Chain A
Amino acid sequence: MKITFAEGLAQAIYEAMAADSRVVLIGSSFMGLNMTARKLMEPAVRDYSDRMLVTPISELALAGAGIGAAMCGQRPVVDLGTGSFIFQAFAQVVNEAANIHYMSGGQSKAPVTFYCLAGMRGMGAAQHSHRTQAMLGQVPGLQILTPGGADDAYQLMKWSLLKSQNPTVFICHSLLFTETSELDPNEPMLPVGRARIRRQGSDVSIIASSITVPRAMAAAELLEKQGIFAEVVDLRTVVPLDRETILKSVAKTGRAVIADECHKSFGVAAEIAATLAEDGLSFLKAPVRRVVVPDVPIPFSQSLEEELTVSTEKIVAAALQVLGR
């Protein structure tokens, strides 16, 4: 069955609400301003509007209320809207949710999902374009889900709402909504914490997550036309990070390009490069390349934003570079 990313999300939310009455929606505009995708939420609105709370523009308290309700028996998902608005909620997400299980010596837990529509979406400018997975990766206790395909949008969301026992930040990218993939409802889900090999290859590993997954796939296709076989590793989750699969892939190909939409310094790609330096140096036939966003805020103008975007072309160029072409 072929589904789109947005369909996967909407279906996961609907099925989770149907399966467990503890699932409540604190905010429900998961599809942002994408009016076509918003329609997909209609079945949930029709059948479960009693579990969709009215939400003032109060991100801090909404996040905190989600945590509180989760500690006391509910399974809330807090829709924080544009990913940048999570900063409004940071005190609760970072300093409360992430610490509860640890601070209580394992007594308490907060299985809450924070949903963010993050990323460089085109003309979002500096205050609406953040990708927070790297910053949040510095917060032990938070799970960070970064699906790059429709299959994972569906499965990871459903898992987060029904199975997760920990606070989770679900980072969605609005440019992914129309991406499609095959979903076999009878096939068991790839466990959380395992990366997905989206495409097998022997010459170079392209390690990606979220929006860089379709771009890495497109790059691999272009490279194949030049006789280069790229392996695409879709991380699916930044925390937990599947270092084992990354190392295995690079052991096979000997070359690594890391494509990530966070800023270069202290980023997701930096963490992966460090892992390769520590545990995979002997596999590497060439230095690792990071295709990431330079360390500047995101400007409004299209011509400026494009300069900073992690594009398919830049991924191809980096792959050619590590191959010495």
Chain B
Amino acid sequence: MSANVSSNLAAMLKIRRFEEQCIAMARAGKLPGHYHVYIGQEATAVAACAALKPEDFLFSTWRNHGHLLARGASPGKMLAEILGRSGGYAGGKSGTLHLSANDLGMPTTSALVGGSLPLATGAALACKRQGKGIAVAFFGDAGLEEGAFYESMIIAQVWQVPILFVCENNSIPPKDRKRGQYTSSTLPAQRLGDVTQSLQIPSEAVDGTDLTAMEECFKRLTAEVRNGGGPRFVEVCCSRWPGNIMTWPELPGGDWQIDWAFGGKPDVDAMVAWLSSDPLSLYLKKQLAAGALDRTQIEAIDAAVKKEMTGAAQFALDSAFPEASEAYRHVFAAQESAL
């Protein structure tokens, strides 16, 4: 088994198991509030982050767990933050919505649709001026419904800053939409890249269920951006995981099982159908067919990931809730008050 295959598998599994942990915590009443999981989109963050360097900046949305994990964030500190504990990245101030890890080049997370696009464009300006790094903005398809999207594209193109816009389109195709379903973008565009093409920003679409295709795509696009080629836009066509429902995510068919890549089937029809577009299952099957790994190896990686997640959960649960006085800290950064 090559190092690349095992690290890809571990990285995707880490996200999957982390999200399952979140759902379990929510069910146990330990995870308060509203949250979003990245199940079904794992390959995107893993492939994109593999093409990045430590000096690069990343911006995400409310659906940010996968991006942080793929960037190397600590699952324990993330989970502690999601549970509102003092051991979290923001000491309990951000929760899931605004998770950030500044030392990983993720200075803030806007939970507003389109909110991070101008910020990422500015980060790219800083990169250009400082002569190192690029910015990557991950956002959902609804991002294109906000004016901030167009304004950011125009600025990025006019300034020729090093930024890769990654739109993770997990929208439900118009024909399958039901009234009252979880928000899905209403964009009249068929190919989202057509929108940026008209602004002279080169764009392409990539299959979000195919890790290998995305590795190639992100490697090439980040190199172009890094070499002064200006902004790029990529539409990642994701599959919509059935647990991603209107209010709180659920785990139809329970935790994901390795056996599902070996002919076993979940007991929920929607999950059976979805597995054929699950990036994790597809990657596994492909590597198995190529003889790149065997079941024992997969089980060993999964066992290690699960162990890490159990440790993360323990860390989070052991972490105390913040003291009330913490509420008053960090409104302003420390500064000198005169010249």
A321 on the B face (CB < 8 A):
no
B255 on the A face (CB < 8 A):
no
**Contact of B34 with A57 in the complex, beta carbons under 8 Å:** no
Chain B residue nearest to A304 (CB atoms) is: B327
B271 on the A face (CB < 8 A):
no
* A88-B146, A123-B33, A303-B321 as given contacts; A57 in contact with B113, CB under 8 Å: yes
* A33-B34, A56-B186 as given contacts; A123 in contact with B145, CB under 8 Å: no
**Contact of A127 with B111 in the complex, beta carbons under 8 Å:** yes
Contact with B along A31-70 (1 / 0, CB 8 A): 0010100100000010000000011111111000000000
A295 cross-chain contacts in B, Cβ below 8 A:
331
* A57-B113, A61-B147 as given contacts; A301 in contact with B331, CB under 8 Å: no
B32 on the A face (CB < 8 A):
yes
CA distance A93 to B313 in the complex (A): 45
B183 on the A face (CB < 8 A):
yes
Residues B318-334 near A (CB distance < 8 A): 321-324, 326-328, 331
* A57-B183, A88-B146, A127-B98 as given contacts; A301 in contact with B93, CB under 8 Å: yes
State the interface size on chain B (CB cutoff 8 A): 39
| Contact of A123 (CB < 8 Å), options: B32, B110, B246, B321 | B32
B180 cross-chain contacts in A, Cβ below 8 A:
38
Chain B residue nearest to A54 (CB atoms) is: B186
**Contact of A307 with B324 in the complex, beta carbons under 8 Å:** yes
Min CB distance A308 to B, Å, is: 6
**Contact of A126 with B98 in the complex, beta carbons under 8 Å:** yes
State the interface size on chain A (CB cutoff 8 A): 36
A299 on the B face (CB < 8 A):
yes
Interface residue SS majority, chain B: loop
Min CB distance A239 to B, Å, is: 26
B95 on the A face (CB < 8 A):
yes
**Contact of A299 with B34 in the complex, beta carbons under 8 Å:** no
Min CB distance A162 to B, Å, is: 27
CA distance A251 to B85 in the complex (A): 47
**Contact of A299 with B113 in the complex, beta carbons under 8 Å:** no
CA distance A301 to B32 in the complex (A): 9
CA distance A33 to B186 in the complex (A): 20
* A58-B146, A122-B32 as given contacts; A300 in contact with B95, CB under 8 Å: yes
CA distance A60 to B149 in the complex (A): 13
A85 on the B face (CB < 8 A):
yes
**Contact of B324 with A300 in the complex, beta carbons under 8 Å:** no
| Contact of B326 (CB < 8 Å), options: A33, A61, A304 | A304
| Contact of A296 (CB < 8 Å), options: B92, B94, B145, B328 | B328
Contact with A along B136-147 (1 / 0, CB 8 A): 000000100111
**Contact of A302 with B331 in the complex, beta carbons under 8 Å:** no
A-B contact pairs, 20 of them (CB 8 A): A35-B247, A55-B186, A56-B142, A56-B186, A60-B146, A125-B94, A125-B95, A125-B97, A127-B115, A295-B331, A300-B90, A300-B95, A301-B321, A301-B322, A302-B84, A303-B92, A303-B324, A304-B84, A304-B92, A307-B324
Other than the given A123-B33, A299-B92, 20 more pairs (CB < 8 A) read: A57-B185, A58-B145, A61-B147, A85-B112, A122-B32, A123-B34, A124-B33, A125-B94, A126-B93, A127-B115, A296-B331, A300-B92, A300-B93, A300-B97, A301-B95, A303-B323, A303-B324, A304-B327, A305-B327, A306-B324
Report, nearest first, the 4 A-B pairs whose CB atoms are least far apart. A300-B95, A123-B33, A301-B92, A301-B84
